[in-house]
Chains A and B, each alone.
Chain A
Amino acid sequence: MTESLLIPKTTPPIARTQLRAYADASGDVNPMHLDEEFAKRAGFPSVIVHGMLSLSMMAEYGIASLTERRYSLRRLKGRFRKVALPDRPLVLGGEIKNREPEGGVTLSLWAKNPEGEVIADAEANLTPA
Chain B
Amino acid sequence: MSMLPLYMKDAFGYQTGLAVATAIGFGFGFVLERSGFGRAPILAAQFYFADMRVFKVMFSAIVTAMLGVTFLAGIGVLDLSAMQIPETFLWAQIVGGFILGVGFILSGYCPGTSVVAAASGNIDGAVTVVGAILGSVAFGFFPSSWREFAEAGNMGASRLTDVLHAPQAVLALGVTLMAVGAFMGGEWVERWSAARGQRSAPLSAPETRTMVFLGFALAAFMGLSTMMLPTSKGAPAPRAPQTVTPEALAAMLIKDPSALYLVDLRDAGSYQLSHLPGAQSIEGLDVASLSSTRTLVVYGGEIPASLQRFGGATMTLEGGFEGFKLKILDLPRLAPDATPQQINEYRRQGAYHEYFTGAAAAPPPAAATPRKTVAPPQRKGSGC
Partners in one complex: no
Query: What is the interface of chain B, defined by CB distance below 8 A to chain A?
Result: none
Query: What is the interface of chain A, defined by CB distance below 8 A to chain B?
Result: none
